Amino acid sequence: MMKEVQTKVELEKIARLVRHDILTMTTNAGSGHPTSSLSAVELMVGLMFGGTFRFDADHPDHLNNDRLLFSKGHASPLFYALWKAAGKLSRADLLTYRRFGSALEGHPTASFPYAEAATGSLGQGLSIGLGLALNAKLDKLTYRTYVLLGDSEMAEGSVWEAMEIAAHYRLDNLVAVIDVNRLGQRGETMYGHDLEAYRRRAEAFDWHTMVIDGHDLEGILNAYRQADQYVDRPAMIIARTIKGKGVSFIEDKNGWHGKTLKKVELDRALAELGEVDEQVRGFIPLPHDLQPDRQPAAEPAPLSYALGDAVATRKAYGKALKRLFPAFPDMVVLDGEVSNSTMAEYFKEEHANRFFEMYIAEQNMAGAAIGFSGRGKIPFVSTFAAFMSRAYDQIRMSQYSDANIKFVGSHAGVSIGLDGPSQMGLEDIAFFRTIIHGVVLYPCDAVSTEKLVAEAARYRGIVYLRTTREDTPVLYEPQEEFPLGGCKVLRQSGADRATLVAAGITVYEALAAWETLQQEGIEVRVIDLYCIKPVDEKTLREAAGDTGLLITVEDHVPEGGLGEAVRSALWNTGATVASLAVRKKPRSGKPQELLDFEEISARAIADKVRELCGREG
């Protein structure tokens, strides 16, 4: 039976063992961040084993477990040593730290079952914690979320985005702990040991604050108990700590960040720590056995679009969320204060409690979605496609959390028109194509949009769906299916001399070019490549074999977009691939003017076909 460790003496024994393990595992690995881990030992030992934190260590997915995130993910040696002290890792496990194939990676990832999310890109943990805390409120669960922050990462804007939104939502179940150890990677942090500077700023963001000695266990335990009593506002514990604490020759000394002890230095450090009790174990109280109310899945209402109806795909996206929610009751929707443009407001009107306004803070919005995803929700995250770039690092990191998130970018391309280049998403396909096992979708009409929203919700992983501002005619019957990895051949004949490959708004330009070329006796194939990743290699290769020439047309820059996806699929076929894309610096103008200017309009497509095929008729 596990011994209940509750007294100060017993916690001190655990802290000594944790320090011993941090030093041993990092020296054995030959890399890591021991000094950044040593500074927060008492803070985290006091949290995990001091009686406040509740967690079923045998069931890390228990719905009412308290959640602990190391936003300062480089302190992973401390994180792993704590779980050894909890009896869930062995000394042998710790000695696999940073080895290829080990779950104990250099910074926590989803491969370690006690990690809430992948961290290590600084400034992201509090946003993820925000999502976890919002989820608890949504599900009416009592679990609390604790986030360990480094003082260096307090310079990141995403931290302050999370702080303002946490205060806005009155998240009294969220506790941030700042490890103020004064030293960053290359020297002193912005405020050094000026704890009052942190307190003033946190209180200005409407957080409860406590300033403590981060190595005084009694003060630490009191702070956690006090944080547990606060209502209506999140709490921040601001702890003065010493980097490298416990080892005299590295304590509070610059130049030791990311540097491990040599074997002779390790022996000296362990001697300073003194004898440790390898058998000591920390006791974690169990959580309350609460379960949220689960709404069973139900059949959604049928689609109701008629061929030729003019509907913007952004509007179809909003309608799809509202229509499909019964089939996907774990859905939540986050938006960056543009829901009347992304049309996520349609969902908000029907399911206000599951809609979360994230305001103009895209980094925090993406981070919060990771938190929701970690608790089993299906977050749909929407803003203008151009503004997704602000959250690229959070999106990049989400793949290492095995996140299940659907990002939706509206107002894509130059076809948005008069608003001008600052509002035009022109690079979004490229960066979403880099996500491992990610899916990139670009529907052209309302039916394909609604069907692809459903496909996105069903897919377990990261999906990007690109929508268009302008109304476009409905091309497809409601019964048409749009499987991931597919495309639609819209025009085809046995005499096709070229294949036009388009997506979204350029599908209509390709169809208009087809009509013009038909009158001139030039037969071309038209493909709606609604799924850009994974791309329909089979259909594209058939078109390459039949026509030998493919012309891609996209309202996106050429680098990393639709054209390059097609080229990748056809790399060894010998087919010629020409790409029409946004190559000039855009400007304000009417949509058709801009499509013509960028040479991705029907006129430009027909001209390119004539150039490459020769004029007939």
Question: 508 and 447 share a domain?
Answer: no
For residue 140, how far is the Cα from the chain centroid? Answer: 24
Question: 466 and 505 share a domain?
Answer: no
Q: Where a domain ends, among 419, 450, 473?
A: 473
Question: 140 and 171 share a domain?
Answer: yes
The answer to whether residue 282 sits within a structural domain is no
Alpha helix positions (H), 60-178: 76-85, 91-94, 125-139, 157-168
Backbone angles phi, psi at 331, to 5 degrees: -70, 140
Question: 220 and 116 share a domain?
Answer: yes
pLDDT band, residue 615 (cuts 50/70/90): low
When computed from its CA atoms, the radius of gyration of the chain, rounded to whole angstroms, is 28
The answer to whether residue 297 sits within a structural domain is no
Q: Where a domain ends, among 446, 473, 500?
A: 473
Is 408 within 8 Å of 459 (Cβ atoms)? Answer: no
Does 148 score more than 80 pLDDT? yes
Q: What average pLDDT score do residues 49-55 get?
A: 96
Backbone angles phi, psi at 568, to 5 degrees: -60, -40
Question: 19 and 123 share a domain?
Answer: yes
The answer to whether residue 607 sits within a structural domain is yes
The answer to whether residue 303 sits within a structural domain is no
Sign of the C-alpha dihedral computed for residues 126, 132, 136 and 141 taken in this order = negative
CB neighbour burial string for 84-110, b if at least 16 within 10 angstroms, e if fewer:
bbbebbeeebbebbbeeebbbbbbbbb
Q: Of all residues in the chain, what percent are helix, strand and coil, respectively (each to 5)?
A: 40, 15, 45
% of the chain at pLDDT higher than 90: 97
Q: How far apart are CA 468 and CA 367, in angstroms?
A: 25
Q: Specify the DSSP element, H or E, that contains 227.
A: helix 217-229
Question: 608 and 566 share a domain?
Answer: yes
Q: What average pLDDT score do residues 336-356 get?
A: 97
- Give the CATH number, domain containing residue 48: 3.40.50.970
Question: 42 and 145 share a domain?
Answer: yes
Sign of the C-alpha dihedral computed for residues 187, 193, 199 and 200 taken in this order = negative
Question: 268 and 318 share a domain?
Answer: no
Q: pLDDT tens digit string along 282-319?
A: 999 999 999 888 889 999 999 999 999 999 999 999 99
Q: pLDDT tens digit string along 161-179?
A: 999 999 999 999 999 999 9
Q: What average pLDDT score do residues 546-561 get?
A: 98
Q: Where a domain ends, among 273, 288, 303?
A: 273
Q: How far apart are CA 339 and CA 616, in angstroms?
A: 49
Q: How far apart are CA 174 and CA 235, in angstroms?
A: 7
Question: 465 and 411 share a domain?
Answer: yes
Q: What average pLDDT score do residues 329-338 get?
A: 98
Question: 322 and 366 share a domain?
Answer: yes
Does 2 score more than 80 pLDDT? no
Q: How far apart are CA 59 and CA 65, in angstroms?
A: 9
Catalytic residues: 362
Domain containing 512 equals 488-613
Q: pLDDT tens digit string along 413-465?
A: 999 999 999 999 999 999 999 999 999 999 999 999 999 999 999 999 999 99
- SS3 of residue 333 by DSSP: strand
Average pLDDT for the chain: 96
Amino acid at 612: L
**Nearby residues of 520 by Cβ (< 8 Å), 6 or more positions away:** 610, 615, 616, 617
Look at residue 4 in the predicted model and tell me its pLDDT. Answer: 54
Does 3 score more than 90 pLDDT? no
**Nearby residues of 523 by Cβ (< 8 Å), 6 or more positions away:** 493, 495, 496, 497, 517
The answer to whether residue 296 sits within a structural domain is no
**Nearby residues of 406 by Cβ (< 8 Å), 6 or more positions away:** 378, 379, 380, 381, 453, 456, 457, 462, 463, 464, 465
The answer to whether residue 286 sits within a structural domain is no
**Whose CA is closest to 217, among 4, 3, 16?**
16
Is 21 within 8 Å of 84 (Cβ atoms)? Answer: yes
The answer to whether residue 293 sits within a structural domain is no
Q: What average pLDDT score do residues 84-90 get?
A: 97
Instruction: Give the number of domains in the chain.
Output: 3
Q: What average pLDDT score do residues 112-125 get?
A: 97
Look at residue 372 in the predicted model and tell me its pLDDT. Answer: 98
Does 320 score more than 90 pLDDT? yes
The residues pairing with 580 across neighbouring beta strands, listed in sequence order, are: 553
Query: How long is the chain?
Result: 617
The answer to whether residue 304 sits within a structural domain is no
- SS3 of residue 450 by DSSP: helix
Is 330 within 8 Å of 355 (Cβ atoms)? Answer: no
Backbone angles phi, psi at 505, to 5 degrees: -60, -30
Question: 236 and 342 share a domain?
Answer: no
Q: How far apart are CA 173 and CA 130, in angstroms?
A: 9
Cis peptide before 534 (omega within 30 of 0): yes
Question: 202 and 351 share a domain?
Answer: no
**Encoded tokens for 157:** 């804007």
Q: How far apart are CA 552 and CA 531, in angstroms?
A: 14
Is 476 within 8 Å of 447 (Cβ atoms)? Answer: yes
Q: Specify the DSSP element, H or E, that contains 553.
A: strand 549-553
**Encoded tokens for 473:** 């005619």
Q: Which residue has the tokens 């309202």?
A: 555
Q: How far apart are CA 567 and CA 578, in angstroms?
A: 9
Look at residue 383 in the predicted model and tell me its pLDDT. Answer: 98
Is 552 within 8 Å of 580 (Cβ atoms)? Answer: yes
Backbone angles phi, psi at 518, to 5 degrees: -55, -45
**Whose CA is closest to 234, among 212, 206, 211?**
206
pLDDT-wise least confident of 188-192, 294-298, 595-599, 607-611: 294-298
DSSP codes of every residue in 180-191 = E-SB-SSSB-SS
**Whose CA is closest to 476, among 509, 443, 442, 516?**
443
Q: Specify the DSSP element, H or E, that contains 70.
A: strand 67-70
- Give the CATH number, domain containing residue 545: 3.40.50.920
Q: pLDDT tens digit string along 95-109?
A: 999 999 999 999 999
Q: How far apart are CA 334 and CA 356, in angstroms?
A: 5
